[in-house]
Amino acid sequence: MELSFPIEFIVHGTAVSLQAKRAESRNEWKARVKAASTAVIPQPHFASQEPIGVTLYYLPDEPMTGDIDNIVKPILDALSAHIYVDDQQVERLVVQKFEPGIPFRVENPTEMVAVAVSGPRPALYVRLSNKPREELR
Question: What does the pLDDT look like over 114-130, one tens digit per residue?
Answer: 999 999 999 999 999 99
Q: Which comes out higher in pLDDT, residue 74 or 1? A: 74
Residue 24 and residue 16 in contact, taking contact as beta carbons nearer than 8 Å: no
Section 60-89 average pLDDT: 95
The structural domains of the chain, ordered by start, are 7-129 (3.30.1330.70)
Section 62-83 average pLDDT: 95
Query: Residue 137: what pLDDT?
Result: 47
Q: Considering only CA atoms, which of 75, 68, 80, 62 is closest in space to residue 122?
A: 62
Name the band, by pLDDT with cuts 50, 70 and 90, for residue 132: very high
Query: Residue 136: what pLDDT?
Result: 60
Q: Considering only CA atoms, which of 16, 18, 4 is closest in space to residue 58?
A: 16
Question: What does the pLDDT look like over 46-65, one tens digit per residue?
Answer: 999 999 999 999 999 999 98
Residue 15 and residue 124 in contact, taking contact as beta carbons nearer than 8 Å: yes
Residue 54 and residue 87 in contact, taking contact as beta carbons nearer than 8 Å: no
Query: Residue 71: what pLDDT?
Result: 96
Given a cut of 80, is residue 74 above it in pLDDT? yes
